[in-house]
Amino acid sequence: MELIVHRKLSFHVAKNIYAKIESFSMFSDILRKFQTDMDSNLATADARGENKKAFEVARNALRKKMTVEDIIDLTGLTREEIEGLSG
């Protein structure tokens, strides 16, 4: 009888430990996804900031009467993007 109680108790403890490990694993997956999303959001924000700066430089270059070709070389923007600023 004592052996059966001990085995049931051991099984219960093992089951609880497994549940905690499984919960931790799910939490780790959520945390990993959150970190990936944050990294992606930061990369997107950086790209938008760089693009905004390129347009600002292009506007200033147009005011200084630089050629579109020089502005393309300077900013990496397309001809259409630059011509859209002057119109």
In the chain (87 residues long), the average pLDDT of successive 10-residue segments reads 61 80 80 87 86 93 95 94 84
**Is this prediction's pTM over 0.85?**
no
Contact 68, 82 (CB under 8 A): yes
User: Would you list the domain boundaries of the chain?
Assistant: 2-86
Contact 74, 57 (CB under 8 A): yes
